[in-house]
Structure 1
Amino acid sequence: MAPLHRWKPGTAALMTMAITAGAITPLFTFSPVNAQFNNNGQYNLRQSRTVTIPANRNVSFPLTYEKDKIVVTPGETVPITLKIASDIIDSNRNVLIPAGTEVVGRLEPVSLSGSFRTDTNNQRQGVRFAAQELVFASGRRQQINATSRTYSQTERISKGTNTSSILTDAAIGAGAATAISLLTGNKKIEILEPIGGAAAGALASVLLRKNEADVFVVRPERDLAISLNSSLVLNPF
């Protein structure tokens, strides 16, 4: 299995050259520059160049978040917006995606076989970030189809558990907030997404019977770098 190349925050993300069939092929494909004539009969080059970043699961873009951790329960789906951690640039140092660009998406449950799941009773689950849209500083929006790796390590919460290390600088999903509040009595929990009364009641019933719950403690800068599932067409900045 090929190693995963992850662009580290704090440095410009340089995309490499892919070697295919003995020939060197740029990772990015540029569209032709169009020419048009002005009123004086002279031609100008239209700045309509685009760059295509192909899907490549061995290349990932680093993301960052305002909190160090995000805590969710297995089966929980949480809308969330992360940010590009460092400039994504091409081989000519054109900035394709500036650092700080918002990445709108969601944390979603995934079975360990890799398919999307909504069955909250199945404990063999992981969680991943699915990116849906880029929002640039100018307000321009661009659809993106990219996902992080599946994160599957859980931490168990039960009555008497000291959750201070989990909750420090953490954003808490609604399901995780309910679980931690009920099991530990901690009422001062930041909720990422409000949970409905019916869902909270059902979850409370389960927790009271089990007296424990598993949660994912995801660290965005370490665990949620995204890789493209389909090509991304961009205009360089």
Structure 2
Amino acid sequence: MLKFRKWQTGTVLALTLGMTSTSLAPFAIGNAAAAPLFPSQQYPSTQPVQSGQVRIPRGTVLPVTYDNDKIVVAPNETSAVTLKIARNVRTSSGALLIPAGSQVEGELRPSQGGTQFFAKTLVLTNGDRLSIDASSNVVTRRETIQKGASTGSILTGAAIGAGAAAIISGITGNRRISVGKVLIGSGVGALGQFLLKRGSADVLVVNPQTDLSLTLNSSLTVNAVY
């Protein structure tokens, strides 16, 4: 059986937001007293929005967490992944913008020879769903799967993409990787079959704690809770 372990991020960030007035006010992720803050970052100017709302600017980095220690996917596959916001996102005055535990629905997709997470929907803890345009850096870390080699270090604590599971199972004969233990996705196709005939194949290994911080590609408007 694969082991599933949870982890939490402990980084606290301080950034700058556009508020509902024409002035700018800082906001923090998590408890600002709990850890040192990064130097302030400059973002494009923002426009006021309707009362009670705050526009989080493009370029803001949102820290996220994931229920497994790693994610293993084939180089050519797309897999649905749901991340969670690791810390409350608040203004400096304490207004809550994004509660910790809110879900970020998206997918890992092939990108620039690696894999990259693209966010689609932010699901707040109250059930509200917001479209979100955010992405991670490209991850190119690879492990080679070979016949006769142990895959224990790769699979321990991992969520496995459907394509990676097919490759690992086909090459190693490990039939314990069932559909219930892999991510929903696709992408092994003809390339996967070619690699299986060679007796070895590369998989991409994502470490969510270090690889999947999300950068907003466009501003995100949320309701502020005071």
TM-score (norm 2): 0.77
Distance 1:226 1:194, change over 3 A: closer
1:51-66 residue pairs with structure 2 within 5 A? 51-56=54-59, 59-66=60-67
Partner of 1:191: 182
The answer (yes or no) to whether the contact 1:13–1:88 under 8 Å persists in 2 is no
Within the candidate set 43, 49, 52, 1:49 is matched to 52
Cα displacement string for residues 101-155 of structure 1 (whole angstroms, at most 9, x for unaligned residues): 00000001111xxxxxxxxxxxxx1111101110011110011100001111211
* SS of equivalent residue, structure 2 residue 108: strand
Gaps of 5+ in 2: 1-7, 28-45
Cα displacement string for residues 1-37 of structure 1 (whole angstroms, at most 9, x for unaligned residues): xxxxxxx93465432489xxxxx9546758477xxxx
Within the candidate set 115, 118, 124, 1:130 is matched to 118
Cα displacement string for residues 134-189 of structure 1 (whole angstroms, at most 9, x for unaligned residues): 00111100111000011112111111221101101111001000000011111111
Counterpart-to-counterpart distance in 1, 2:49 and 2:119: 29
Count of residues in correspondence between the two structures: 193
Letter in structure 2 aligned against 1:155: E
1:107-146 residue pairs with structure 2 within 5 A? 107-111=108-112, 125-146=113-134
The answer (yes or no) to whether the contact 1:31–1:49 under 8 Å persists in 2 is no
Gaps of 5+ in 1: 1-7, 19-23, 34-47, 112-124
Fraction of identical pairs, as percent: 46
The answer (yes or no) to whether the contact 1:84–1:103 under 8 Å persists in 2 is yes
TM-score (norm 1): 0.73
Partner of 1:21: none
Q: Which entry has the higher C-alpha Rg, 1 or 2?
A: 1
The answer (yes or no) to whether the contact 1:71–1:173 under 8 Å persists in 2 is yes
Partner of 1:216: 204
RMSD of aligned Cα (Å)? 2.6
Tell me if 1:228 matches 2:219: no
Distance 1:87 1:11, change over 3 A: farther
The answer (yes or no) to whether the contact 1:16–1:27 under 8 Å persists in 2 is yes
Counterpart-to-counterpart distance in 1, 2:11 and 2:91: 13
The answer (yes or no) to whether the contact 1:16–1:91 under 8 Å persists in 2 is no
Counterpart-to-counterpart distance in 2, 1:229 and 1:50: 19
